[in-house]
Amino acid sequence: MTLQLTMQSSELSSDELRSLEDMRTRCAKNILLSTSLAGSGHPGGSLSTLDNLLVTYGCMRHDASDPGMDERDRVIMSIGHVSPGVYATLAEYGYFKEDDFLTGFRRTGSGFPGHVERIVPGVEWDTGNLGQGLSTAVGLAHGFKIQNKPNRVICFMGDGEQQKGQIIEAIRFASKYKLDNLIVVIDRNHLQICGTTEEVMPQSVRSLYSTNNWDVQYLEDGHDQNAYFQTFSKAYRKSDGQPTVIVSRTTMGKGISFMENIAKYHGSPLDREAIGKAMTELGVEDEFEKWDALRQNPVDTSTIQSYKGPAVDIKAGETIVYDAKTILDNRSAYGNALLSLAEANNSGSDMRIAGISCDLEGSVKMGGFHKHSPAAYIEAGIQEHHAATMAGGLASLGLVTFFSTFGAFAVSEVYNQNRLNDFNHASVKVVATHVGLDVGEDGPTHQCIDYLGLFQNYFRSSVFMPADPNQTDHIIRYVATTPGNVFVGMGRSKMKMICKEDGSPFFDENYSFAAGKGDWLRRGHDATIISYGAVTPMVMEAWDMLIDAGHSVAILNMGSLLPIDKEAVLEAAECGVVLTVEDHHVETGLGSMVGTILAEAGKGITFRRSGVSQYGGSGKPADLYASQGLDGKSIAAKIVDMLS
Amino acid sequence: MTLQLTMQSSELSSDELRSLEDMRTRCAKNILLSTSLAGSGHPGGSLSTLDNLLVTYGCMRHDASDPGMDERDRVIMSIGHVSPGVYATLAEYGYFKEDDFLTGFRRTGSGFPGHVERIVPGVEWDTGNLGQGLSTAVGLAHGFKIQNKPNRVICFMGDGEQQKGQIIEAIRFASKYKLDNLIVVIDRNHLQICGTTEEVMPQSVRSLYSTNNWDVQYLEDGHDQNAYFQTFSKAYRKSDGQPTVIVSRTTMGKGISFMENIAKYHGSPLDREAIGKAMTELGVEDEFEKWDALRQNPVDTSTIQSYKGPAVDIKAGETIVYDAKTILDNRSAYGNALLSLAEANNSGSDMRIAGISCDLEGSVKMGGFHKHSPAAYIEAGIQEHHAATMAGGLASLGLVTFFSTFGAFAVSEVYNQNRLNDFNHASVKVVATHVGLDVGEDGPTHQCIDYLGLFQNYFRSSVFMPADPNQTDHIIRYVATTPGNVFVGMGRSKMKMICKEDGSPFFDENYSFAAGKGDWLRRGHDATIISYGAVTPMVMEAWDMLIDAGHSVAILNMGSLLPIDKEAVLEAAECGVVLTVEDHHVETGLGSMVGTILAEAGKGITFRRSGVSQYGGSGKPADLYASQGLDGKSIAAKIVDMLS
């Protein structure tokens, strides 16, 4: 039976205080042992935040025997480096044996990594890059509001990390959306790696929150467990529309005399001699050798959990097929599909699909969704870093979350935020409009030509690029009903539908989109053009010219880029001539993917790549395409040249 | 002769006011015409900020006949979309003919792009992504302080963009470094795309600055040119250690009755009928058809300037050669080289080399540099977005600027900031430590395995990866003395020197590093291993094992990845068996570059890639390498398998 503090009390009982004191001693010992055994890690901050961690877990709703319980409160550790403190605390509360933690900490494959990861039972979110945790917590808190659930969210932060700009974005958002189910605890020890926070970068932490209408509570002695209990339990119960921050004045290295207020213990473990002294100060046995010997044995990985996302039950709704005469932009098809999904899944107070935009609702065509499901539409302002991370928090609650803005902001600006969502299997649907040279006159800063180049660096995300509004509809319904992080990109312009040779829409009601599957728009035996997205219509134009010139050319359209259809690429290579065409940086997109597939298969064929080979200009898309050899005429000329 | 306002006066004269009024009318006309002629663009904000722009250029030091004059003050337009207002103003001040602007605006190849770019004479910085401009301006202002120059920096910002988190990072930095040579002008029209700033994301703009010790000046009527003149000229002259922000209460669409306070005119031009009405309100002739006809002619690109960076005169200093027995980390070799460069180039108050770190001075080994050149060492706090952008501003003044932190923060976190530096030919030296699985126990959030995958998406940056401390020394001296944006990455661990077969250091005093040139560490005829950076020592181990097993294997080390040595890759392919090995995501690094080179050359050979094929764990680097097949034994086994 683990400790459960009596939240109704006005103060901690002497029994409770004694339990906490015993727990603290064991945790301090384990923090110091684990880091010294591993030869690396962060003991200073772990000791600094330990008291607040222990009381928090004693107060909040959670159950170690059911770590995935829906009703649990969520703890997000924005300071992922205090993992020894977190693991020690979770062991006390019964999530796993301290033995596993001590023998496994910071060992390859052990399940107890240096920054907290959700493979550890009880950990909710992989963190490590400072500044992102609050946005995740805000996403969870707002998600609970959307779902009308009473769960609380607690976010532990450092004081050094308050310097990160993303934090004020999250602060503002929490204030705008009145997230009184959110409690932030700041470990205010005034030390960061290179000195005091005042020396490194002066700021007023409290005014950062108070000027944005948070309830700011300051604890002069953050190690006073009773004071923290009183403040925390009051914040936990309230429903006044204000998020709470508890600024807890603590001491780095608390409890070990020679570690207190020494910045180097942020990231340095004690040496063997100092461990002995520390154990004496704690009044416990020095077990270093015992555990060091146990670490030589194979690691017990039985405690490692494999993360499962929440079950999501989403109806795909009715496919919309635009007829061959329709001229439409993919953006509008996205907006229509999103509205249709909302109609099929969001009703009354039961919201299954959420949408986030950043001051671009009209441009990304979320207006219909907003009108239908105002409670699930989120306006995040010009705060893309926060919005992208928050999307991960929302999605992890089982809300299917669409995050939409221009490609340059949804991808290029938030690369590292999307990366953390990828770590966390967060299942965010990033749908970016205004991708590629198709953006036109707004020029190179707004032309996102790196979405494939960026998403390829993750391991758990897909990239789908619709070639017309019909394929857009299929893809949006597919991603809404299929778990996983995904990027869907589209241009800005209106276009004709891609059609079969008989003139009917190619992506009609009988079409079925599948990840990792390309589509042969045309068959031919002289050469194959592999393409996707906004330039496919130009490839179709080239095909017409080539047919007239007597060339039989195949067109392979890759709606799915990640994963890519390797079999289809190798089939394309059989004709001996392959050209890739894309509205993307020529070095980092489909062309290099295809090139690598060919090289690994040992295929020595005629192969070339067309793409964006310099920053785009500011002008009409057709002119920009022509200037980079991506218009129909240039594409046809390249094939003719390759065949000659 | 263009307008020059008398800064010594307490107010504008009636002549000056009359001149400004005439200029305003012509500019308003040109803003409306240019956007309507182009069929896109941002007239609302251009009219909103126009009065402040006109007075600013009348006050500041600049010379249209010599746009690159060293003594000029710098204007950074963080709101790059108000390009019509900027171009109209610059035309008034003689930088080019209004004809070129009106016929060329937002036309492919015209030289007058939709967001301001420095190809336009008088524009100092390409912008477009909101939130970055202030950091650039701060970099310029701090650079002038380091260089002991009196130049002023003026940064125009919007009010919507105050939501971006990067801004508070820049605000804090400017306050810490007392940049009283910086004036920020905020166009406070209370409108952003989706509504009022209060609706979209509530915040107090003024307290954002005042709580960080800025001098905050509020103008109740931002269109009152005399009031602005008085406030601006006072801020321009002061030297009290406080940066100034002028919050200028303006009206979007100012001066055209039916445009005022209408959010849609943020990004929508007037239609033909509305243009007529607007010209009537301005009391000018409606010249739409005249200019529309002129736009049909070929564009005059004579005004386009090609950007030249500042001349930089840097001494390379004395090469350091570590002998074959030395065990050292590349980080320390970097620190030693940087100190040596400081000794050779920074003396007294003449600083040629600057260094920026983000709370990691010790880890990135900048301590020696800091001690030698305290005036040129910059501690930016945990504010990487600001730091990366600021580096571009500093570097553009001719200060050779090294920006160093861990790879995950120098690359992954600031991808879009480095991208803007790439646009701007900023010549920043990003030197990242803690790159790859070599980071070890800190785990995947800290393991930067995407540096090549990311930098390949730019067009103007190089990537160099030293294989040992000796190559590090050569590369650091090379990048310090060669203009251009560059990334140099290195791991965390100590290593042996790479040696020739005779046992002496390979990268010795006779070695010369060159961009785009690989080095044959070993020659052989059965197979070639292509590698770089932290895994080259493992490849050398594999080579020893392979020799013992009777295989003749070549090792090609790619110190330069961008540009890459294509000739050497094709030479490597001649033996028919090529394996790439890298401490990088296997899909986005050297392997896919080599694969694409082989495919484009039509080489059907035996080709494989080894790299990081899943997120790294938390453990010792050697264990992590072994777990992903990157240890010497695994590499040797792969070659044996490929040869069988």
Structural tokens at position B348? 């007294």
Checking if the pLDDT of A477 tops 70, the result is yes
> Is the Cβ pair A454, B456 closer than 8 Å?
no
> Is the Cβ pair A381, B80 closer than 8 Å?
no
Question: Please, which pLDDT band fits residue A300 given cuts at 50, 70 and 90?
Answer: low
Question: Please, which pLDDT band fits residue A7 given cuts at 50, 70 and 90?
Answer: confident
Domains of chain A are 14-294 (3.40.50.970), 327-496 (3.40.50.970), 519-643 (3.40.50.920)
Looking at residue B174, its pLDDT comes to 98
Looking at residue A302, its pLDDT comes to 52
Residues of chain B contacting residue A106, judged by C-beta atoms under 8 Å apart = 441, 618-619
- Candidates B38, B108, B176; nearest CB to A624: B108
Cβ-contact B142, B179 below 8 angstroms: yes
Looking at residue B7, its pLDDT comes to 87
> Is the Cβ pair A445, B126 closer than 8 Å?
yes
CB atoms within 10 A of CB A563: 11
Q: One-letter amino acid identity for B537?
A: P
Residues of chain A contacting residue B204, judged by C-beta atoms under 8 Å apart = 211
Checking if the pLDDT of A299 tops 90, the result is no
Q: Dump pLDDT digits (tens) for B497-533.
A: 999 999 999 999 999 999 999 999 999 999 999 999 9
The Cα–Cα gap between A144 and A320 comes to 32
Phi-psi region of A317 (alpha: psi -120 to 50; beta: other; left: phi over 0): left
CB atoms within 10 A of CB B18: 11
Looking at residue B300, its pLDDT comes to 57
Based on the number of CB atoms within 10 Å of its own CB, is B481 exposed (0-12), middle (13-18) or buried (19 or more)? middle
Looking at residue B109, its pLDDT comes to 82
- Candidates A114, A585, A607; nearest CB to B602: A607
Q: Dump pLDDT digits (tens) for B269-298.
A: 999 999 999 999 999 999 999 999 998 876
Residues of chain A contacting residue B435, judged by C-beta atoms under 8 Å apart = none
Closest approach of A245 to chain B, Cα-based (Å): 18
Closest-CA residue to B248 (of B223, B213, B214) = B223
> Is the Cβ pair A609, B596 closer than 8 Å?
yes
Q: Dump pLDDT digits (tens) for A530-553.
A: 999 999 999 999 999 999 999 999
Checking if the pLDDT of A297 tops 80, the result is no
The Cα–Cα gap between B418 and B211 comes to 29
Cβ-contact A45, A158 below 8 angstroms: yes
The Cα–Cα gap between B390 and B403 comes to 10
- Candidates A130, A381, A603; nearest CB to B200: A381
> Is the Cβ pair A592, B591 closer than 8 Å?
no
Looking at residue A308, its pLDDT comes to 64
Question: Please, which pLDDT band fits residue A291 given cuts at 50, 70 and 90?
Answer: very high
CB atoms within 10 A of CB B344: 17
Residue B607 β-bridge partners: B578
Looking at residue A282, its pLDDT comes to 97
Cβ-contact B32, B43 below 8 angstroms: yes
Checking if the pLDDT of A110 tops 90, the result is no
Looking at residue A361, its pLDDT comes to 96
Q: For chain B, which residues score pLDDT lower than 70?
A: 1, 298-309
* Pairing mode, strands A191-192 and A195-196: antiparallel
Residue B530 β-bridge partners: B556, B580
Looking at residue A217, its pLDDT comes to 98
Residue B556 β-bridge partners: B520, B530
Closest-CA residue to A184 (of A49, A70, A62, A88) = A49
Looking at residue A315, its pLDDT comes to 97
The Cα–Cα gap between A610 and A625 comes to 11
Looking at residue B324, its pLDDT comes to 97
Q: What is the mean pLDDT of residues A237-256?
A: 97
> Is the Cβ pair A618, B169 closer than 8 Å?
no
In the Cβ-directed half-sphere of A611, how many Cα atoms lie within 13 Å?
A: 26
User: Which segment of A7-11, A31-35, B401-405, B567-571 scores lowest on mean pLDDT?
Assistant: A7-11
Cβ-contact A34, A41 below 8 angstroms: yes
Q: Dump pLDDT digits (tens) for A594-643.
A: 999 999 999 999 999 999 999 999 999 999 999 999 999 999 999 999 99
Q: Dump pLDDT digits (tens) for B555-586.
A: 999 999 999 999 999 999 999 999 999 999 99
Contacts of B350 (CB under 8 A, 6+ apart): none
Residues of chain B contacting residue A45, judged by C-beta atoms under 8 Å apart = none
Q: What is the mean pLDDT of residues A220-243?
A: 97
> Is the Cβ pair A128, B359 closer than 8 Å?
no
> Is the Cβ pair A619, B593 closer than 8 Å?
no
Element containing residue B462 per DSSP (H, E): strand B461-464
Residues of chain A contacting residue B444, judged by C-beta atoms under 8 Å apart = 113, 117, 126, 128, 423
Cβ-contact B132, B158 below 8 angstroms: no
* Pairing mode, strands B485-489 and B461-464: parallel
The Cα–Cα gap between B486 and A70 comes to 48
